[in-house]
Structure 1
Amino acid sequence: MFCALGSAICYGTASVLQAMAAKTAAPGSGSGVDAALLLRALRNWRYLLGLALDGCGFLLQIVALRSLPIYAVGAALAASLAVTALVASRLLRTELSRVEWGAVATVCAGLALLGLASGAEGDRTGSAALRWSLLGVAVAVLLVGALAGQLPTRPRALVLGLGAGAGFGVVEVAVRLIDSLAVPQVLANPALYALLLGGAAAFLLLTSAFQRGSVTVATAGMVLGETVGPAVVGVVWLGDHTRTGLAWLAVLGFTIAVAGALTLARFGEP
């Protein structure tokens, strides 16, 4: 859980830096996903620092996913918005209202309940069908991004956010499905390609969402996309469970943490 929270700190800080960089990048000609936008953002030192923090966060996330159920790690990553709010209040001189301070406290309370209720990670390795399905979802995320440019501004932001969240969710599940790093086995595992494609697609969609439309709406969509779906996959197909008799407490903690994160969604945008 300490690794999951450390990952949230890295991701939350990186979000502010990357949002600032994406907003200053020159806009492209389209309204959907702009792959060149990512290249333009990479010229900004804030975006590069954000990527370095993302890398540290990802390593901590891997450690957490090998020890905790996906639902617990997903809720902790959603809590990165609480970190984003606190960092934005310092770097961007934004002020937190009483409701937003309450949301930060709510996120912390929800994570505390999850920590008490979470059991060990599930012992199932996942079927071949699940691995190939995960790769299919990663491809679908890219297609969703391509189609998002045809939508009006508000639904476009929501679709980009949900797509980015789904991509990050693919990464969460894929980490659990890679059971061997030996070269012949790992290269034959569809989960490896799902992880790479899902992560890249999520970055593309999220960077575009930071620059186009309502980033508040996009961030809320991202939180839902990266928490709910992977949590269901972990419980149903990978055997994630809670401590005996504490399933209700885990559901309550998960709901509270995600609800608090959604309240803070506006801090995806500087």
Structure 2
Amino acid sequence: MLAIVGAVVAAIAYGAATVLQAVGVRRLAAAPAGSSLWQRGRAGWLYGVGLALDGGGFLASLAALQTLPLFLVESMLASSVGVTAVLAVLFLGVRLSGREVAALAVVGLGLVLLAASAREGPARTIATSGGWLLLAGSGLVAALFVAGLLDRGRDRSAVVLAVASGLGFGLTGIVARVLHPSNPWWHTVFQPQLWALVVAGAVAVVAYGFALDRGRATSVAAITFATETVIPAAIGLAFLGDGVRSGFPVVAGLGFVAALGGCMALAARAEIEN
């Protein structure tokens, strides 16, 4: 239950961060020309609060992944787009269409089904070679990001960058699932999977920003959601010992499809227009 609370907190933090950052950017853009750095900082301080919430959400997701399977946690994190949609209605005056309201309900139903079907437990311990494999994977994500960044075709570039972002976010989830502190704790810094998390996370954030700049928010968010949710879920089930409660495979499958489909239908709310 505590792990599920952590995943819920992470989703709320990520969703609220998107709204706060949008408000911060909007206020910053409205600052008079020639404003001092201090004045601009005061105008956009909510953006900093949003970044802090992103950090808190990340820590909460790390805690959740210690005992919950990837297919559940990643789906709950993707549902942060629903939190963004609700908060945008409450605080930014955004109006949701009937389709988006229905998508919110589908996401909620999907998450309930997933929570009911997930089997709690730690991931399998991976060998040192597995840590190096994860680090190599983060290098491949970085290479894909560079390829997308250098691509002069904006539409194709946006797709490649969105995939790189999704893979990066997904890899951070995988690492968080298998990362365990060493004894003594400071030896953790020598674990290759820790550096895989750092590299993949940094690349994911930067790639997502560039993808949004070059493509439509709806398409970019949908590609990122699908990549960061489906691939880690498959890897967790195949290699990390993630499992479903006996008699609940169909329930889990329906919940996963409903949650992911609803999130993709809400993808336009992943980035609030400023």
Query: TM tier, shorter chain?
Result: 0.7 to 0.9
Q: Secondary structure at the match of 1:262?
A: helix
Query: Is residue 109–residue 255 contact of structure 2 (8 Å, CA) maintained in 1?
Result: yes
Q: Distance in 2 between matches of 1:51 and 1:128?
A: 33
Partner of residue 176, structure 1: 177
Q: Give the superposition deviation at 1:164.
A: 1.2
Opposite residue 166 of structure 1, the aligned amino acid is L
- Aligned counterparts of 1:207 and 1:24: Cα–Cα separation in 2: 20
Distance 1:245-1:151 versus aligned 2 partners, 3 A rule: farther
Deviation at residue 22 of structure 1 after TM alignment: 6.9
The letter for the 2-side match of 1:248 is: V
- Conservation of the 8 A alpha-carbon contact between 1:15 and 1:50: yes
1:121 Cα deviation (Å)? 2.9
SS class of match (2:67): coil
Distance 1:184 1:64, change over 3 A: closer
Q: Tell me which residue corresponds to 2:35.
A: none
Query: Is the CA contact (8 Å cut-off) linking 1:165 and 1:225 kept in structure 2?
Result: yes
For the pair 1:127 / 2:130, whether they are aligned, the reply is no
Counterpart CA distance in 1 for 2:46 and 2:146 is 27
Q: Deviations over 1:46-86 (max 9, x none)?
A: 43222100111112111211121111001101111111111
Structure 1 residue runs of 5 or longer lacking an equivalent are: 27-40
Residue deviations 1:205-224 (CA, integer Å, cap 9, x gap): 12223333212211111101
Counterparts in 2 of 1:160 and 1:167: CA distance versus 1, 3 Å: same
Q: What CA distance in whole angstroms lies between the structure 2 residues aligned with 1:245 and 1:232?
A: 19
- Mapping for residues 68-217 of structure 1, pairs under 5 Å: 68-149=68-149, 150-181=151-182, 182-183=184-185, 185-217=187-219
| Shift, 1:151, TM fit | 4.4
Alpha-carbon displacement from aligned partner over 1:221-270 (angstroms, at most 9, x marks no partner): 11012111111111111101011121121111011100000000011232
Task: Return the alpha-carbon distance in structure 1 between the equivalents of residues 167 and 24 of structure 2.
Answer: 23
- Residue type of the alignment partner of 1:11: Y
Q: Identity of paired residues, percent?
A: 36
Task: Give CA deviations for 1:72-105 in whole Å, capped at 9, x if unaligned.
Answer: 0011011111111112223432210111000000
Are residues 151 and 228 of structure 1, via their aligned partners in 2, closer, same or farther at CA, if it must alter by over 3 Å?
farther
TM-score of the superposed pair, with normalisation by structure 1: 0.86
Structure 1 residue matching 2:244: 3-state secondary structure: coil
**Post-superposition offset of 1:127:** 3.1
CA contact (8 A) 1:122 1:234 kept: no
Between the aligned partners of 1:148 and 1:20, the Cα distance in structure 2 is: 29
Partner residue of 2:237? Answer: 235
Which structure would you say has the larger Rg? 2
Taking a change above 3 Å as real, the CA distance of residues 20 and 213 of structure 1, as seen in their structure-2 partners, is farther
Kept in 2, the 8 Å contact 1:23–1:211? The answer is no
Cα gap change, 1:9 to 1:200, in 2 (>3 Å) = same
2:15 is the counterpart of 1:6: no
For the residues of structure 2 that align with 1:19 and 1:148, how far apart are their CA atoms? 25
The residue aligned with 1:15 is 18
Question: Matched residue of 2:119: which SS?
Answer: coil
Q: Residue deviations 1:143-201, cap 9 Å, x none?
A: 22222131422232222222112111111111122222434531221110011111111
Q: State the distance in 2 between where 1:152 and 1:214 align.
A: 14
Q: Distance in 2 between matches of 1:93 and 1:152?
A: 35
Task: Output the aligned Cα RMSD.
Answer: 2.4
The runs of 5 or more residues in structure 2 that have no matched partner are 30-40
1:31 counterpart residue number: none
CA gap 1:85/1:117 in 2 versus in 1, 3 angstroms: same
Distance 2:24 2:156 in 1: 23
Residues 20-35 of structure 1 mapped to structure 2, 5 A cutoff: none
Residues 21 and 136 from structure 1, CA distance in 2 versus in 1: closer, same or farther, beyond 3 angstroms?
farther
Q: Given residue 3 of structure 1, which amino acid in structure 2 is its aligned partner? A: G
Alignment partners' CA distance in 2, 1:57 and 1:92? 22
Q: CA deviation at 1:19?
A: 5.2
For residues 195 and 250 of structure 1, the distance between their equivalents in structure 2, rounded to whole angstroms, comes to 27
Conservation of the 8 A alpha-carbon contact between 1:122 and 1:241: no
